[in-house]
């Protein structure tokens, strides 16, 4: 249902606009206060040490990766040499001999070593990414810390408080005007709401009657048609859907005209009040 008070009393919009401005400033104040809290709690020296520690971890990780890569090269060469021995000594008769089995086991072991080294490199690489991410975050916070000017933040907070007080004074000045116009509008708006309810009920009756008229059109024999008339009568107090629709359409038109008169009255009230 329409909120006619909001439609015909401009002070609602004025109040909404002021409240919106106050809310926006309060949100800004919340951000400013978070800046002050951040500046107060941030330990610059500790964060610089953290960057140094993370940098050392990255250097250590780089060394680990280099060592693992060297180990991979060594193990790969050993694997190639062992395979060469297997190939040079290959004899189907001695495939299951201890020496052949030992050499094949050595190749497999070396392959496992190489694969494990690659996994370690991958894990260390992921750790490095996390270290770099942490450094980026800390550097961002340090930049924020250095860029925050406490006196400027406090000045902004003080200025915002003054603005909020002025806006609240504006609210206090507008509220009596709003209430005065509401009182003048109240009788008219009560009639508008009553008419809207009547129009809504009338539209529902028309909709139901149209459904019964459709059912009559779909009836294939007199028995079905009689049943529709009976249902219509039981539901709407009249078994003739066309008659109901015609009557309710005329009645709705009267309601529209009455509502238009009250809308004009409400518009005059709005125009007459400064």
> How does the average pLDDT of the chain come out, rounded?
90
pTM for this entry: 0.66
How much of the chain, in percent, has pLDDT values that exceed 70? 92
How much of the chain, in percent, has pLDDT values that exceed 90? 73
Around Cβ 208, how many Cβ atoms within 10 Å?
Answer: 17
Phi-psi region of 33 (alpha: psi -120 to 50; beta: other; left: phi over 0): alpha
* Residues 12 and 5 sit within 8 Å (Cβ to Cβ): yes
Task: Tell me the CATH architecture of domain 4-168.
Answer: Orthogonal Bundle (1.10)
**Per-residue pLDDT band at 262 (split at 50, 70, 90):** very high
Torsion of CA 108, 113, 114, 116, to 10 degrees: 120
User: Over the stretch 55-113, which tens digit does the pLDDT of each residue have?
Assistant: 999 999 999 888 888 888 888 888 777 777 766 655 555 444 565 667 667 777 877 88
C-alpha 169 chain-centroid distance: 34
Q: What residues contact residue 104 under an 8 Å CB cut-off, 6+ apart? A: 86
């Amino acid at each position: 249902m329409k909120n006619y008070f909001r439609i015909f009393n401009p002070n609602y919009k004025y109040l909404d606009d002021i409240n919106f401005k106050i809310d926006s400033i309060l949100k800004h104040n919340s951000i400013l206060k978070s800046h002050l809290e951040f500046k107060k709690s941030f330990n610059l020296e500790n964060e610089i040490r953290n960057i140094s520690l993370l940098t050392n971890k990255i250097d250590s990780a780089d060394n680990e990766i280099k060592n693992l890569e060297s180990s991979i090269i060594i193990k790969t060469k050993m694997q190639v040499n062992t395979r060469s021995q297997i190939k040079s000594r290959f004899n189907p008769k001695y495939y299951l001999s201890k020496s052949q089995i030992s050499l094949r086991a050595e190749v497999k072991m070396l392959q496992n070593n190489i694969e494990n080294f690659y996994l370690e490199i991958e894990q260390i690489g992921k750790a490095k990414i996390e270290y770099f991410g942490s450094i980026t975050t800390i550097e961002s916070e340090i930049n924020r810390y250095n860029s925050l000017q406490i006196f400027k933040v406090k000045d902004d907070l003080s200025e915002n408080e003054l603005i909020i007080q002025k806006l609240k004074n504006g609210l206090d000045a507008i509220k009596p005007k709003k209430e005065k116009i509401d009182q003048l509008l109240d009788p008219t708006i009560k009639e508008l709401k009553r008419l809207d309810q009547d129009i809504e009920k009338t539209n529902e009756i028309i909709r139901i009657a149209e459904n019964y008229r459709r059912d009559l059109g779909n009836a294939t024999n007199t028995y079905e048609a009689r049943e529709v008339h009976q249902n219509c009568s039981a539901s709407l107090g009249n078994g003739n859907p066309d008659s109901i629709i015609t009557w309710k359409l005329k009645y709705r038109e009267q309601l529209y005209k009455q509502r238009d008169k009250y809308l004009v009255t409400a518009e005059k009230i709005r125009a007459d009040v400064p």
